Amino acid sequence: MSRAIVFQSVLGLALVFGPAVGAAQAFRHQTTVYSDPKEAQLRRPEGVACGAGGAVVVADTGNARLLLYTYRDGTLSGGTQVKLAQVPYPYRVQLDPKGEVLVLDEKLRKIVRLDAKGAFLGNVDLQGAPAGVLPGSFKVDGAGNLYVLDVLGPRVLVTDAAGKVIRQLDLPREGAQFTDVAVDGGGTVYAVDAVGAAIWIADKSATAFKRLTESRKDVMSFPTYLAFHQGKLYAVDQHGGGIAILGSDGSFQGRQLALGWGPGLVYYPAQICFEPDGAVFVADRGNDRIQVFDTGR
């Protein structure tokens, strides 16, 4: 489908949501990464992760590789390429507290662990998991525990840092399509239903999710990625071309970015991550690039 046709199909949504709105901090465009240091163009990057010490990892999905950067004092450096046979289609990436890289391959549906330089350490074996688990996304918390969205369950499996399943949180089987999970510092887990444009929640003692919000089609079209940062939920609105920001109680806090191809605009955004200095990285998949924004804190 051409960009022109897609643009016409989603323009209505963009006009409804409009440009950045609300009281949330503004995303100001800082820089854009179109290629690696050898001028090889990025292709459909699905993931970007931020970690300690300014580590930034890009899943350059269309090129079947990862790119390892360092972000420091507002400058992005490095861009070392990592290509591994164990990860032919890197999709979601996360950095754990030790600086190791966790990658979900979308075609193999496996999570693999790499060291900070990109060397393969092994597959993540979900010890004690039910048969037939199909990972669709995942997160890692400050203790190294994993929160794996099993899209077939559907459920979220929580593991310790060694990969042993220590908790299972059931999701509703009907009427929803869950695409991502997030966790806050207190152990509360959130899940996003892309089709329903709704957020679900499970507190630290829960065994199943319950609704945090009803459908929020009024503020987001098809949210596919969810991040928790500084008390707020950031839902990457893939089809709506932007970021919807919600409070931890589900209240709408605003919307950032808008559909387009120029600097500061996004086209089928995929993943978002945050640096401590306020920089925000967005995997701008449809535009074949990574964009960096400054929020001023």
Residue 60, in any domain of the structure: yes
| Residue 167 burial by Cβ neighbours in a 10 Å radius (0-12, 13-18, 19+) | middle
| pLDDT in single tens digits along all 297 residues of the chain | 445 444 444 444 444 565 565 545 699 999 999 999 999 999 999 999 999 999 999 999 999 999 999 999 999 999 999 999 999 999 999 999 999 999 999 999 999 999 999 999 999 999 999 999 999 999 999 999 999 999 999 999 999 999 999 999 999 988 899 999 999 999 999 999 999 999 999 999 899 999 999 999 999 999 999 999 999 999 999 999 999 999 999 999 999 999 999 999 999 999 999 999 999 999 999 999 999 999 976
How many distinct structural domains can be found in the chain? Answer: 1
Amino acid at site 108: L
Read off the tokens for 215. 């459908």
| 153 in any annotated domain | yes
Residue 275 resides in a domain: yes
The reply to whether 121 falls in a domain is yes
Residue-wise pLDDT tens digits, 136-178:
999 999 999 999 999 999 999 999 999 999 999 999 988 899 9
The C-alpha atoms of residue 210 and residue 222 are separated, in whole angstroms, by 20
pLDDT of 25: 66
Q: What's the confidence (pLDDT) of residue 11?
A: 46
Classify residue 12: in a domain, yes or no: no
Instruction: Convert the pLDDT of each residue in 17-47 to its tens digit.
Output: 655 655 456 999 999 999 999 999 999 999 9
- CATH number of the domain that residue 142 is part of: 2.120.10.30
Q: Is the residue at 155 inside a domain?
A: yes
2 in any annotated domain:
no
- Residues 12, 142: Cα–Cα separation, whole Å: 40
Residues 6+ positions from 209 with CB-CB distance below 8 Å: 156, 169, 170, 171, 172, 189, 191, 200, 201, 202
DSSP state letter for 116: T
Q: Is residue 238 in a domain?
A: yes
The whole domain housing 83 covers: 28-294
